[in-house]
Amino acid sequence: MYSQIIEYTTAHGRYISFIGIFVVLFCAYLFSLNKKNVSIRFIFIAMGLHIASALFMLKTTIGQMIVNSISSVIESLYTAADTGIRFLFGALALPTAGGWGFIFAIKVLPIIIFFSAFMALLQYWGIIQKFVSAVRKISQPILGTTGPETTCAVANSFLSQTEAPMLIRQNLATMSNSELFVVMVSGFASISGAVLAVYGTMGIPVQHLLAASIMSIPASLLFAKIVYPAESVPSTKKAENAPIIEDCSMQVNSSLGAFSQGTCDGLQIALAVGAMLITFIAIIALLDGIFMTGSSWINYALTYVGATWQMPILKFQVILGWIGQPFAWLLGFSGDQARMVGEFLGIKVAVNEMVAFGELAKSGLSERSIAVVTYALCGFSNFSCIGIQAAGIGAMIPTRRSFFTTYGVRAMFAAALANIFSALIVNIIL
């Protein structure tokens, strides 16, 4: 019995991940804006809900069946989207056609358009709103959080970080700072359904992307309330103060209208994603060149003065790897794998998660390792998204726009810790 326990805890560095849970919670506590108001009771309740959701989805037959069923539906939607892509682009949509290979702009970006239209249709029919309401009714009494912040945290697991707040836009102006901080963290700690579909086509396991999205609900609330705990009972405490807007932001009166608007919105998102990938990947290459050139000059100077030591040739990703490597160790990785995963974590925060997922998909890591890292990367917690929230959510409450720029970095950090926390839990139970 004891030997089995020891074998289980030492395999895959699970005991290190157990220590990592306390490390990331302590990191969040260090950055807390009001340490005396941090609720130990809430921490244990949120952790319990988080662990329970992970166990249900990853270890129970019913949970695995639900997640796999949803994954199958999403994969069927991939096939449908690919039919439209092949019609428009012909042989260019075939990875082996004419020697062109896999073209990201043709095989991946159009899927954002289709999934955006599909999600808009689900919103118009009220399916997303009903799901959000059902999950909120389960989680809110357990956690004791307010209606608006719980609604937004749940909605962010499927909608984008600027769409989810629209469901509670009538409450945004009167929400407390702690509640608004939850809105920010939950947006950073999750990904939208349309982007989730993209990562699935890149080879990231959809079932784990789905599980990570659900687990982000209690995780984002947990770390948001540690970093910015509530100071008093807010006016939005009652659930009935947060009615969900049935049509969200869509000014349409038919399913076709919703689908059309979703298509147009998806086109804008796809163009923005493509543009950001061009600029961010280009800036990485530029920074690589700067660091490599600087390293070479320093080595030349060292040689010139007769020094025998030479510094390693630096690259931007190497530096990010050093920063992220301690968290990779906590996830149970060591050696070159720890360095590699550290780079992914660094890229996710400094650049964006899409570039990090692209690197993960071609990393050659084991299936289990990819699954664990997926949870750590599954969120919009990067610097560019601070501007997105400030512009998107700030437009709904212009008088409080400065809040998003003032606390943006802190909220992004809390969300990144929430993602790593999910990965730690998964490494222990998987």
Map out the domains of the chain as residue ranges.
Answer: 2-94+101-275
Please return the burial class of 418, using the count of CB atoms within 10 Å of its CB with bins 0-12, 13-18 and 19+.
buried
The predicted-structure confidence for 38-63, as pLDDT tens digits, reads as follows: 999 999 999 999 999 999 999 999 98
Written as six digits, the tokens of 425 are 């839990």
Residue 26 scores a pLDDT above 90 = yes
In the predicted model, what is the mean pLDDT of residues 278-286?
79
Confidence of residue 96 (pLDDT cuts 50, 70, 90): low
Q: Amino acid letter at 185? A: V
Question: What local confidence, expressed as pLDDT, does residue 83 receive?
Answer: 86
| Inter-residue contact 50 to 218 (CB < 8 Å) | yes
Residue 315's region, left for phi above 0, alpha for psi from -120 to 50, else beta, is: beta
Say if residue 300's pLDDT is above 90: no
Residue 145 banded pLDDT, cuts 50, 70, 90: confident
| Alpha carbon distance 135, 209 (integer Å) | 18
396 has a pLDDT exceeding 80? no
* CA–CA gap between residue 239 and residue 368 (Å, rounded): 39
Helices and strands (DSSP H and E) totals, the chain: 20, 0
* Residues 246-273, mean pLDDT to the nearest whole number: 75
Residue 238: which pLDDT band, with cuts at 50, 70 and 90?
Answer: very low
* Tokens found for residue 151: 């609604």
- Residue 239 confidence (pLDDT): 44
Instruction: Compare 108 and 22 and report the one with higher pLDDT.
Output: 22
Burial 86-107, CB ≥16 within 10 A → b, else e: eeebeebbbeeeeeeeeeeebb
Please report how the helices 408-429 and 206-227 are oriented relative to each other, as an axis angle in degrees rounded to 10.
130
Please report, rounded to a whole number, the percentage of residues in the chain having pLDDT higher than 70: 93
pLDDT(194) > 80 = no
pLDDT at 240: 46
CA-nearest of 67, 133, 175 to 393 is 175
Tell me the residue length of the chain: 430
Residue type, 91: A
* CA separation for the pair 243, 99 (Å, rounded): 54
Q: Are 385 and 185 in contact (CB under 8 A)?
A: no
Report the first-to-last Cα separation within the chain, whole angstroms: 19
